[in-house]
Amino acid sequence: MDLYYKSTRDSNVKATASEAILTGLAPDGGLFVPESIPALDVPLEKLKKMSYQETAYAVMKQFLTDFTEEELKRCIDKAYDEKFDTEEIVPLVKMDNTYYLELFHGATIAFKDMALSILPHLLTTSAKKNRTSNEIVILTATSGDTGKAAMAGFADVEGTRIIVFYPKDGVSKVQKLQMATQKGKNVAVVAIHGNFDNAQSGVKAMFEDKALAKELEEKGYQFSSANSINIGRLVPQVVYYVYAYAKLLENDEIQEGETVNVVVPTGNFGNILAAYYAKKMGIPIDKLVCASNENKVLFDFLKTGIYDRNRQFVLTSSPSMDILISSNLERLIYLIAGEDSKKTKELMEALKRDGKYEITENMRRKLSDFAGGYATEEQTAEEIKRVYEKTGYVIDTHTAVASHVCKEICGDDKKCVIASTASPYKFVKSVMTAIDKAYEGEDEFALLENMCNVSKTEMPQAIKDILDAEVLHRTECDADKMEETVKNILGI
């Protein structure tokens, strides 16, 4: 059976998987969602013996039905190869009766690698399937990790250009250098004077601008996205939750059918939505725990049913979660609204116009799969120290937010999988000073060797690569000059 995709804002808009991946955003500004979430057709007994690549095929073939077996397996094999520093791709590490799903073993040491290693292959395959002759311009906003992972994936990929916008003062020193030193003739990086929400809103506005699309078309370009608004980003993320459950089974940590909680540090809502899709596919997940930092717009939404971004934007030590407009929540809103695209559009327009919306009581009842918690900056640092002193395991700031929330609300009666979304090396200053205040006066890069000694791990290649790398990208712009900047980069 072919699975089609429709827009969250107009159910009459219909696309194949490859068409949805190619365009990124629906023409009406909505997000593409599958007409139904397919069930896994592989029994758990068989799944637990599969490699990551085999699991990826079992999951993704259910969603990407217009890809042939050969096409999809080729994309998977190219993505999940020696770029990852561990053969198992995503190790599941047990510490103190909690399981940390390490999603940071890819080329840029953050969970975004899991999807952005395969997206370029899915996109170029989609372009061939749809006989696209235009050069595809990947336009992306990043809160720190997506940008580098996307650039690493798309660098020098034929038929593509990539332009990444990030908040100049809203990323760590390592994140900034990873982007600024990225090689590739087709790569451009722009620091905006503003926050991530400004960058994300600017990118979405360009996607929705029909006059701009026409102008690009005349010059032989078309936009696509590497953000999690692209269904080609979301589907690969479902895989690692399926894989994690299978590994728990294989290691005799759980019995078949036993439910587990999944705790995800959440900003743009894509990563936790992927866990929800895994549950809907048949994986026995009980609660999907949404862990927020001090920008707790999602925690407040789950508690009250009111989404309100009209609040102070806080720069925290977990910058990839410093987000007040969680784009992927729209996909969940569509589902809990009974797949009512008119209602979804009405709520999204209210968010754009008023900065807030409120869901109905009936919709709130359909959020029972989710729970929410948050960690302050102080609690995040305390959790890093607590986990280290108890187990010797070093976690990054985003994982610490999830770990704190897990401890607060999950209890001990159910197994919990925490999505560990970034290497501690990426946020070395925050992590090391949490472990020992004596490191506070040290330079961020000077602490890298200390991190090796404390964590008893080798410095990742991604960090070694930027230590002496040349800064190649210095472009900056105001948030209201993003379109002008894109045109300059493309020579329009």
Instruction: Give the pLDDT score at 163.
Output: 97
Point out the residues of the chain with pLDDT beneath 70. none
From 108, 82, 85, 80, select the one nearest 463 (Cα to Cα). 108
CB-based contacts of 201: which residues, under 8 Å, 6+ apart? 325
From 32, 42, 47, 468, select the one nearest 243 (Cα to Cα). 47
Return the sign of the alpha-carbon dihedral for residues 174, 179, 180, 181. positive
Instruction: Give the pLDDT score at 468.
Output: 86
Residues 55 and 371: their CA atoms lie apart, in Å, by 27
| 196's tokens | 């991530």
Instruction: Give the pLDDT score at 300.
Output: 98
| 257's tokens | 């059918």
* 308 three-state secondary structure: strand
Residues 470 and 62: their CA atoms lie apart, in Å, by 43
Which class for 441: exposed (0-12), middle (13-18), buried (19 or more C-beta within 10 A)?
exposed
Residues 81 and 75: their CA atoms lie apart, in Å, by 11
35-87: per-residue pLDDT in tens? 999 999 999 999 999 999 999 999 999 999 999 999 999 999 999 999 999 99
Host H or E run for residue 417: strand 416-420
Instruction: Give the pLDDT score at 412.
Output: 74
Taking each helix axis as running N to C, give the angle between helix 448-455 and helix 428-435, from 0 to 180 degrees, rounded to the nearest 10: 50
Residues 307 and 416: their CA atoms lie apart, in Å, by 27
Per the CB < 8 A criterion, the answer to whether 242 and 59 are in contact is: yes
5-41: per-residue pLDDT in tens? 999 999 999 999 999 999 999 989 999 999 999 999 9
Gyration radius of the chain over CA positions: 21
Instruction: Give the pLDDT score at 144.
Output: 78
Residues 215 and 220: their CA atoms lie apart, in Å, by 9
Instruction: Give the pLDDT score at 397.
Output: 98
DSSP per-residue codes, 43-73: -HHHHTT--HHHHHHHHHHHH-TTS-HHHHH
Dmax (CA) of the chain: 61
Host H or E run for residue 362: helix 361-365
Please give the C-alpha separations between residue 304 and each of 301, 314, 351, 367, 429, in angstroms, as whole numbers.
Answer: 5, 21, 16, 11, 35
In sequence order, what E strands does 340-387 have?
356-358, 370-374
Instruction: Give the pLDDT score at 411.
Output: 76
From 15, 33, 118, 5, select the one nearest 334 (Cα to Cα). 33
pTM over 0.75: yes
Per the CB < 8 A criterion, the answer to whether 15 and 5 are in contact is: yes
Residues 328 and 31: their CA atoms lie apart, in Å, by 8
Half-sphere exposure of 141 (CA within 13 A, CB side): 27
Residues 301 and 356: their CA atoms lie apart, in Å, by 10
* 305 three-state secondary structure: coil
Beta-bridge mates of residue 160: 136
Which class for 142: exposed (0-12), middle (13-18), buried (19 or more C-beta within 10 A)?
buried
414: left (phi over 0), alpha (psi -120 to 50) or beta: beta
CB-based contacts of 341: which residues, under 8 Å, 6+ apart? 6, 7, 8, 9, 10, 11, 30, 334
| 451's tokens | 């991190």
Which residues are known to be catalytic?
112
CB-based contacts of 134: which residues, under 8 Å, 6+ apart? 217, 220, 221, 222
Residues 272 and 281: their CA atoms lie apart, in Å, by 14
Per the CB < 8 A criterion, the answer to whether 332 and 302 are in contact is: no
